[in-house]
Amino acid sequence: MPHFPLFHGSRDTRRHDGRDYDTTNFSAIKKRCANPAAVEKQEAPAFIPSSYIGHLARSHEAQRQSGQFHAMIIDVDTGAHRIDFVQNCIERIIGDRTVIIYSSSSATEDNPKWRGIIPIRYPIAGADYKDVQEALFDLLAEQGLHADYAMARTGQPVYLPNVPPSRRNENGEPLFYQYSISGSSGLLHVPEAVAARAATNKAQRLEAEREAKKAALERAEKNRKLSEASGGPSIIETFLAENDLTTLMLEHGWLPRGGDWFASPFSQSKGRSVWVTDQRAVSFTTSDAGRIGKTTDNGWTTYDAWDVYVACVHGNNMRVALLEYRQQCGYEQRALHHMLEMWGLS
């Protein structure tokens, strides 16, 4: 039976003393479900579902390189779903296999929140764990169950059953706590549906990287020609050097959806559909088409910070955007200074 690093609270670390972590296993976790801890969150027990228990076990990079993960994990904090709905959504993906579900420490009757642990006999390599987890979350989202994509990170703590004293009555009984352990046997491997979605996501991401690089090169070539004509950086080049894409996106209605993913303000579903890589976004939702940036050959949309500025601040009026930013950034003075530098007169 695999053993996993066990710790208590966010500050409990062995990084500096070189010792291995204490451990737990699935049998112990099941027992905890029946008898949840009664401590505040800063002391709450947590684990990482990897068999790497060394002093760097809480490091995302160490677990990515050395970790072998024996469970898929979900964390559901939104939707106020009941436990049977969560269980049914998971079972549609994994079948009649073991799944451990319990309410989180901040859950209430009116606002239930859940953690789910899906044991797997043959482990997932740390390098593949993020892809597998995100594929699982995508499949759950299609059923209306939205898991926190932060749980795809290899060093992310999984808090174990705990109902703090502040959420218990005068007799020490939880005001709200539920758990379920179901399934006839544990999974041997990652379910086919999850593996297939992970492969599809990876292929899509690689193609998106190619499209982003292609669009970035086209932008760079246009900027180069404008720079040659003006004798200094172009207005767009100046803007891109001074503005961060994700900052502008968040200012204008994009919603974070975990890691490098966002929901478009033009999308009705508000699901994760926009991926950002190296200061360029690739959108997979048709809601963005024709509203911002450039449509790719395969029907996606790609845009950078300048495209967001033009679309969201100036209603896609490029001329007005150029004129306003030229005045705002003092472009003429910058261009003059650049020319004087070139002539050695600055």
pLDDT digits (tens, 9 = 90+) for 204-219: 999 999 999 999 999 8
For residue 291, pLDDT over 50 is answered with: yes
CA angle 145, 147, 153 (to 5 degrees): 160
Instruction: Say which residue the tokens 């994700």 belong to.
Output: 246
What is the pLDDT of the chain when averaged over all its residues? 92
Tell me the C-alpha distance between 316 and 81, whole Å: 41
For residue 341, pLDDT over 80 is answered with: no
Per DSSP, the residues of 169-230 read -TTS-BSS--EEEE-SB-BSS--HHHHHHHHHHHHHHHHHHHHHHHHHHHHHHHHHHHHHHH
Stretch 45-74: mean pLDDT: 98
For residue 143, pLDDT over 90 is answered with: yes
For residue 67, pLDDT over 80 is answered with: yes
For residue 74, pLDDT over 60 is answered with: yes
The domain ranges of the chain are 4-190, 207-342
Percent of the chain with pLDDT over 70: 94
The predicted pLDDT at position 222 comes to 84
Quick one: which of 70, 71, 101 has its CA closest to 88?
101
Question: Residue 86, Cα to own-chain centre: how many angstroms?
Answer: 20
pLDDT bucket at 165, cuts 50 / 70 / 90? very high
Tell me the C-alpha distance between 91 and 110, whole Å: 24
Tell me the C-alpha distance between 163 and 91, whole Å: 26
Provide CB contacts within 8 A for 281, sequence distance 6+.
212, 245, 249, 262, 274, 275, 293, 302, 303, 304
Tell me the C-alpha distance between 277 and 205, whole Å: 10
Extended strands (E) in 271-338: 274-277, 280-283, 294-295, 301-303
Tell me the C-alpha distance between 334 and 308, whole Å: 23
pLDDT bucket at 225, cuts 50 / 70 / 90? confident
Evaluated on CA atoms 336, 339, 345, 346, the torsion sign reads positive
For residue 127, pLDDT over 90 is answered with: yes
Quick one: which of 279, 326, 270, 273 has its CA closest to 307?
279
The predicted pLDDT at position 270 comes to 87
For residue 305, pLDDT over 90 is answered with: yes
Tell me the C-alpha distance between 331 and 346, whole Å: 16
For residue 336, pLDDT over 50 is answered with: no
Provide CB contacts within 8 A for 138, sequence distance 6+.
197, 201
Quick one: which of 261, 87, 97 has its CA closest to 192?
97
Tokens of 256: 């974070």
pLDDT bucket at 228, cuts 50 / 70 / 90? confident
Q: Are 211 and 274 in contact (CB under 8 A)?
A: no
What residues does 24 pair with on adjacent strands?
4
pLDDT bucket at 346, cuts 50 / 70 / 90? very low
What residues does 125 pair with on adjacent strands?
68
The predicted pLDDT at position 343 comes to 44
For residue 330, pLDDT over 80 is answered with: no
Q: Is 281 exposed, middle or buried (0-12, 13-18, 19+ CB in 10 A)?
A: buried
pTM assigned to the model: 0.82
The predicted pLDDT at position 1 comes to 83
**CB-side exposure of 142: number of CA atoms within 13 Å?**
11
Instruction: Tell me the C-alpha to C-alpha distance, in Å, between residue 220 and each of 138, 213, 217.
Output: 34, 10, 5
